[in-house]
């Protein structure tokens, strides 16, 4: 192993401290025995216990999870369809306009997206609740899915689909049996992206949520305005933990896949000499 120079060590330390110090503090204070957030009074897991008793937080967590699953699933279906049409549709009328319009929400300020959706829901007389949040989240996360899936479709060997057609499958069967299984990793990561976007969205959700449908970010944000409680630290630590585990699993899966492909290729080389 090469030793790093003092300059590299310093810049590495500073960089990581900048990124992770706030989170480390949060994790440490979530185990604080004291009710006062800034005063350390010894280690205790009591706030985790209290969190489990807090109905309001649990309800909000449930709403968030429901919204995230529903909206990311909807966004994945719509986004994949949009990507397919844009990559495979050829040069139809207004194609450039369509692709521009699909990617516009990526750069649109969230406040404006939220406000315009609110106006729409009021205009058509739709009661604000879980459904409106799901629709709003689908709207803005769909374009992320579309970006991820279309970049995979662009490198997809079109002759695979043609071969399926040639062997007698209808265009839909070819998509279902050939295209979808091959682009599945991109579709899944699109879904995960939409899921995390929905999990931590505060701005749009606060525009379109109703009294019965408070999501976790809204709950945390309003609770913090009354003062930071150790319970919130505990809750945030749990969220960090969940996200970390998710990221580790995802990277392990992709690493194992590439390793297996490499081994297979080597085995094939050996077998055929």
Partner 1 sequence: MSQTVFAPWADPDQKPLIRFENVTKKFGEFVAIDDLSLDIYEQEFFALLGPSGCGKTTMMRMLAGFENPTSGRMLLAGQDIAGVPPNKRAVNMMFQSYALFPHLSIWDNIAFGLRRDNKPKDEINARVEEMLKLTRLEKFARRKPHQISGGQRQRVALARSLAKAPKLLLLDEPMGALDKKLRQDTQFELMDIQETTGTTFVIVTHDQEEAMTVASRVAVMDEGRIIQVATPADIYEAPNSIYVADFIGDVNLFNGTTSPEGDDRYAVHWAEGHPPLIATSAQPFSDGQSSHFAIRPEKIAISTERPTETANVLQGKVLDIAYLGNISTYHVALPSGQIIKAQTANTRRISRRAITWEDPVWLSWNATAGVLLDR
Contact residues for partner 1, defined by CB under 8 A = 157, 159-160, 162-170, 173, 177-178, 181-182, 261, 264-265, 267-269, 271-272
CB of 169 to partner 1, least distance (A): 5
Nearer to partner 1, 161 or 201 (CB): 161
Q: Residue 126 in 3-state DSSP? A: coil
CB of 159 to partner 1, least distance (A): 4
Q: Let me know if 227 is exposed, middle or buried by CB neighbors in 10 A (0-12, 13-18, 19+).
A: exposed
Number of Cβ within 10 Å of residue 113's Cβ equals: 18
Q: DSSP string of 61-106? A: HHHHHHHHHHHHHHHHHHHHHHHHHHHHS-S-TTHHHHHHHHHHHH
CB of 219 to partner 1, least distance (A): 43
Contact 46, 33 (CB under 8 A): yes
CA angle (39 as vertex; 33, 41 as ends), nearest 5:
35
Number of Cβ within 10 Å of residue 207's Cβ equals: 20
CB of 187 to partner 1, least distance (A): 14
CB of 172 to partner 1, least distance (A): 11
Nearer to partner 1, 35 or 176 (CB): 176
Nearer to partner 1, 164 or 235 (CB): 164
Nearer to partner 1, 158 or 255 (CB): 158
Provide the β-strand partners of residue 32.
Answer: 43
Contact 75, 142 (CB under 8 A): yes
CB of 269 to partner 1, least distance (A): 8
Reported as half-sphere exposure (CB side, CA atoms, 13 A), residue 75 has a value of 34
Nearer to partner 1, 105 or 185 (CB): 185
40-60: burial string, b at 16+ Cβ within 10 Å, e else: eeeeeeebbeebeebeebeeb
DSSP 178: I
Nearer to partner 1, 124 or 271 (CB): 271
CB of 87 to partner 1, least distance (A): 17
Nearer to partner 1, 127 or 166 (CB): 166
Nearer to partner 1, 165 or 253 (CB): 165
Number of Cβ within 10 Å of residue 273's Cβ equals: 4
CB of 72 to partner 1, least distance (A): 24
Size of the chain in residues: 273
């Amino acid at each position: 192993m090469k030793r790093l120079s003092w300059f590299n060590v310093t810049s590495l330390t500073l960089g990581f401290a900048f990124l992770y110090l706030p989170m480390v503090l949060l994790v440490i204070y979530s185990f604080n025995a004291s009710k006062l957030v800034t005063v350390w009074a010894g280690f205790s897991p009591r706030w985790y216990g209290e969190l489990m008793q807090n109905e309001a937080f649990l309800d909000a967590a449930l709403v968030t999870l429901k919204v995230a699953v529903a909206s990311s699933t909807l966004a994945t279906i719509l986004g994949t369809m949009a990507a397919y049409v844009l990559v495979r549709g050829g040069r139809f009328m207004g194609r450039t306009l369509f692709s521009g319009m699909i990617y516009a929400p990526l750069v649109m300020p969230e406040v404006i997206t939220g406000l315009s959706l609110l106006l729409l829901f009021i205009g058509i007389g739709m009661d604000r609740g879980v459904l409106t949040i799901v629709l709003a989240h689908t709207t803005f996360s769909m374009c992320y899915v579309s970006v991820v899936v279309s970049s995979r479709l662009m490198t997809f060997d079109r002759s695979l689909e043609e071969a399926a057609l040639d062997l007698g499958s209808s265009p839909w069967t070819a998509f279902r049996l050939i295209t979808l299984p091959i682009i599945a990793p991109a579709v899944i990561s699109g879904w995960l992206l939409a899921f995390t976007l929905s999990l931590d969205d505060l701005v749009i959700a606060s525009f379109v949520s109703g009294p019965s449908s408070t999501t976790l970010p809204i709950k945390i944000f309003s609770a913090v305005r009354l003062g930071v409680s150790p319970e919130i630290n505990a809750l945030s630590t749990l969220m960090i933990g969940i996200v970390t585990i998710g990221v580790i699993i995802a990277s392990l899966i992709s690493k194992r896949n590439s390793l297996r492909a490499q081994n297979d290729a080597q085995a094939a080389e050996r077998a055929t000499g």
